[in-house]
Amino acid sequence: MSRTSTNANGAVVREFLSVADLLEEPPLARVYAHLAQNEESTVQEVIDALELAQGTAYSYINRLVDAGVIEQTTDDQPRRYIARDIELTVRTGDREYTITPVLVDAVARRTSDEDIDAYIERHGIDGLATALTYAVARERGETTHRLMARDLECSPLAAELILQALRPVVHEHYDIEASGASVAAIENSDATDDA
């Protein structure tokens, strides 16, 4: 589903509006994110995993199918659904960011994570997309919260808060090797030094 905003046939506009619904409604984004992280799911599995009412789950699934961001994979009962990949590049003024399943997942956590919610309120979805890029780099050991704060002209505390809030999202979507020594390794090293 990768497209740029230069496509003149109207498909990009429809696609953007479908994806915009995900970004504006965190509960809807949460259903999409669940389907994106699981190979295939039935509506009942979505209900169980996300603790949704049956009517709400069916409503969200139908909306996501109509929007074209998930698809039904079987006609047999129970029907199974899978998320389609989203990769839509958006320009807002002089900024450009890409809407991906990872960003949708981060937005979905807005209702359960005050730090993500506050960051979106202050910096918008494009700001969250930028912070997500820094969060991936941080988890890979390529940057720090202080560098992010300097680059984005925000406080180190604000940078650290959003990086910590995005950490679970990054680890669920990216294969990141643990860097540095663990506390257990350090304690074991101290114990052998004492012997």
For the residues of 116-161, what is the DSSP string, one character each? Answer: HHHHHHHHHHHHHHHHHHHHHHHHTTS--HHHHHHHHT--HHHHHH
* pLDDT value of residue 98: 84
Residue 178: its pLDDT value, please? 57
So what's the pLDDT on residue 12? Answer: 56
Q: Could you tell me which residue, 85 or 115, shows the higher pLDDT?
A: 115
pLDDT at 184 over 80: no
Q: Over the chain, what is the mean pLDDT? A: 84
Quick check: 91 pLDDT over 60?
A: yes
Confidence of residue 59 (pLDDT cuts 50, 70, 90): very high
Query: Over 50: is that where the pLDDT of 70 sits?
Result: yes
Mean pLDDT to the nearest integer, 152-168: 95
User: Cα(70)–Cα(12) distance, rounded to whole angstroms?
Assistant: 17
> What contacts 83, CB < 8 A, 6 or more positions away?
32, 35, 36, 69, 70, 101
Is pLDDT at 192 greater than 80 in this prediction? no
Q: For tokens 């720090």, what's the residue?
A: 144
For residue 185, is pLDDT > 50?
A: no
Please give the single-letter amino acid code of residue 26: P
Q: Is 81 helix (H, G, I), strand (E, B) or coil?
A: strand
CB environment 40-72: b (16+ within 10 A), e (fewer): ebbbebbbebbebeeeebeebbebbeebebbee
What is the pTM (predicted TM-score) of this model? 0.77
74-80 average pLDDT score: 91
The pLDDT assigned to 19 comes to: 82
| pLDDT score of 102 | 93
pLDDT for the residue 7: 43
Query: What pLDDT score was predicted for residue 31?
Result: 95
Q: Angle formed by the axes of helices 156-173 and 114-139, to 10°?
A: 70
**145: amino acid identity, one letter:** H
Asked which of 67-81, 93-107, 176-190 is least confident by mean pLDDT, the reply is: 176-190
Structural domains of the chain sorted by starting position, each given as residue range(s) with its CATH number in brackets: 2-83 (1.10.10.10), 113-173 (no CATH)
HSE-up (13 A, CA, CB side) for residue 153: 1
Is residue 106 over pLDDT 90?
A: yes
